[in-house]
Structure formats: C-alpha cells, structure tokens
Amino acid sequence: MVTSSFDYFAPTTLDEATSLLSRYRGEAKVLAGGHSLIPMMKLRLAEPGILVDIGQIDGLSYIREDGDGVSIGSMTTYREMATSSVIQSRYPLLADASSKVADLQVRNRGTIGGSLAHSDPAGDIPAVVLAIGGSVVARTRRSSREIAIDRFQVDLLTTALHDNEIITEIKLPSLAAGTGTAYSKFHNPASHYAITGVAAVVTISGGVCTEARVAVTGAGDKATRARRTERILRGKELTPAVIRRAAERAAAEVEDTLNEDIHATAEYRVHMTQVHAVKAIEAAVAAAG
C-alpha cells in the first residue's frame, strides 16, 4: 500500500496554490485533510504527479455569519462544524452529521471542502449541504465563481469543479422561520460511511409544509435530491401517513444507479432509505415545532 511517487508543494497563499494548479493542470491534485485522497493514492486509484497541500494557507478555516446566511471556509473540519454554536443553532443537521462522520481522528482532519470535492457516494456532507441549499465558491488563478449546490454533484466521484479550481468557501442560506432539519443514516459499523442516509429540511407554516428539501446519500452514485418525496410533502399537513407515502419515493431518483456491494444489496438499500427518510422527515417536522 505505497503511493506512486509525487512532488509535494505546501503553498502559503491562495495565489500560489492556484498558480501551481494552473502550471501543473491535469497532473496536480489539491490535498486538504487527506482522508480520501491518501487512501485512494495508496490503492493506486489516484496517481497524481503533484500534490498541492492547502493546509498551510491562512484564512480558509472559518464559520462566519454574514448577511442572511453563513459562510464556511473550505478547510473547516468536521469537528469544527460539529462543535460550532453557529452551526448547532442554525443548521443542526450539519452539526449532527459532522459529529457522525467516522471517528475523532477523521473528524479532526477531514474538511467540508474535501468532502464536497470528493463526492463520495457514501459521504454524509454532500447530502446535508444539498438539503440545506446554497453554493460552493471556487477560485482559479484569475477568477472566482459560485456554483449552486444543486449543480455541483455531477456523477460518481465527479463534481462541476474544474481541475484548476480550489473550493474556498461554502455559502449556506438562512433557513425560514418554522424550518426544522434532521439527518438520519444507516452506517457501516466500521467506517461509519452511509450505507444510506437521508437529510431533510422542512418548513411548516399554518400547519402545512410550505417547503421541503430532502437529499439521499449512499443509495446511488452520488448525493441526490429526492424530488418526488419533496413534491409529496409540499402543501400538505405532514401526518404520519403523508410522511410514509413521501418516504416510499425517497430512492426513486437513484433507482438507475443503485449501489450493490458487500455491505448491502440494492433492494436492502432502497428499503433502508425509506426507513431513514421517515426518521429524518419526522425529526425535521418535530424540530420545526
């Protein structure tokens, strides 16, 4: 389990890092927490010739309330999100999901930017951010752009990010009054990766669901909005019967790319997605009050 050889750079500014990515475009990879990239390199599933470690760059790790929403620096770790009072109070599902990633060692190193850029089909954070909404800020040497989270996860381990871009920030919107959130996962007992996980953000007004965003991870090739579930929830009083009917459609969007491996069959994943959709939506409704 030894990586192929590579050159290692540890720039101290974003300009330096983005210049390196441009100079070695196609050959270079960003290194953040290293908890997905290094295992991939050891298995020779990734063989970058150049590593650009962004861990020495100041100012990429923060949680900041600005304007209406919250901005999170891309190098912010799971542990920082799990223990942040801002995240706990404004996006409890993100704090909760962060606290359930792997073990303390991984949570101390793994970053929100790395998790989104890696787009692991069993990753927790992509589904959670998808349910919250918002955008990813990516920078090259010359420019910066904002990618809506709904367009960010493209395919298995594939995002809308270009290979000369670095994620610098994740922008989360303010949640409306009457919104409750929850994340529920059925995890692999060894790694804690989601065999299936469901993130739910629902807004209740006058006893009726006025907005719902539900996202599923683990079941298919990438974190995906459960749009049919959302449509069933919107405009209704969320009785147990409505929640159960909506949850039955939670895996519908990923039925063409269902995962089947040593951990679970496709059929079992669909079933557990429904079970955890009920749990997540019920908990979100309870939190909405």
Ligand X SMILES: Cc1cc2nc3c(=O)[nH]c(=O)nc-3n(C[C@H](O)[C@H](O)[C@H](O)COP(=O)(O)OP(=O)(O)OC[C@H]3O[C@@H](n4cnc5c(N)ncnc54)[C@H](O)[C@@H]3O)c2cc1C
Pick from 57, 166, 272, 285 the residue near ligand X by CB under 6 A: 166
**DSSP, res 234:** T
Q: Does 101 bind ligand X (CB under 6 A)?
A: yes
Minimum distance from CB of 241 to ligand X (Å)? 32
Supply φ then ψ for residue 107, to 5 degrees: -65, -25
Looking at the Cβ atoms of 102 and 233, the one nearer to ligand X is 102
117 lines the binding site for ligand X (CB under 6 A): yes
CA-nearest of 156, 150, 160, 157 to 130 is 150
Site string for ligand X, 56-95 (x = CB under 6 A): ------------------x---------------------
Per rule CB under 6 A, is residue 33 in the interface with ligand X? yes
Residue 52 pairs in a beta bridge with 9, 30
**Nearest CB to ligand X, comparing residues 31 and 202:** 31
Q: Identify any residues that bridge with 214 across adjacent strands, giving them in sequence order.
A: 200
What's the burial of 10, exposed, middle or buried (CB within 10 Å: 0-12/13-18/19+)?
middle
Q: Which is nearer to ligand X, 33 or 69 (CB)?
A: 33
Q: Closest CB to ligand X among 181 and 203?
A: 181
Q: How far apart are CA 22 and CA 92, in angstroms?
A: 38
Taking the least distance from each CB to ligand X, the nearer of 29 and 222 is 29
Closest CA to 204 of 239, 251, 255: 239
* Structure-block tokens of residue 270: 């669909």
Tell me the closest approach of the beta carbon of residue 10 to ligand X, in angstroms: 13
Closest to 122 (Cα-Cα) out of 172, 185, 39: 185
Subset of 213-232 contacting ligand X (CB under 6 A): none
In sign, the C-alpha dihedral spanning 26, 221, 257, 162 is negative
User: HSE of 74 in the Cβ direction (CA atoms, 13 Å)?
Assistant: 25
Q: Tell me: does residue 193 bind ligand X (CB under 6 A).
A: yes
Cα-based torsion angle of the residue sequence 108, 110, 113, 116 in order, rounded to the nearest 10 degrees? -140
In the complex with ligand X, the residue whose CB is nearer, 165 or 282, is 165
Please state, in angstroms and rounded to a whole number, the distance separating the CA atoms of residues 195 and 187. Answer: 5
Residue in 18, 111, 153, 274 binding ligand X, rule: CB under 6 A = 111
110 binds ligand X (CB under 6 A): yes
Q: Does 10 bind ligand X (CB under 6 A)?
A: no
Give the residue with the Cβ less far from ligand X, 37 or 63: 37
Say if residues 281 and 248 touch (Cβ distance below 8 Å).
no
Taking the complex as a whole, how short is the minimal distance between the CB of residue 200 and ligand X, in angstroms?
Answer: 17
* Binding segment toward ligand X, per CB under 6 A, in 84-92, 113-121, 142-150, 222-230: 113-121
The contact set with ligand X (CB under 6 A) reads 29-37, 39, 54, 74, 101-102, 106, 110-111, 113-115, 117-118, 120, 123-125, 161, 166-167, 191-193
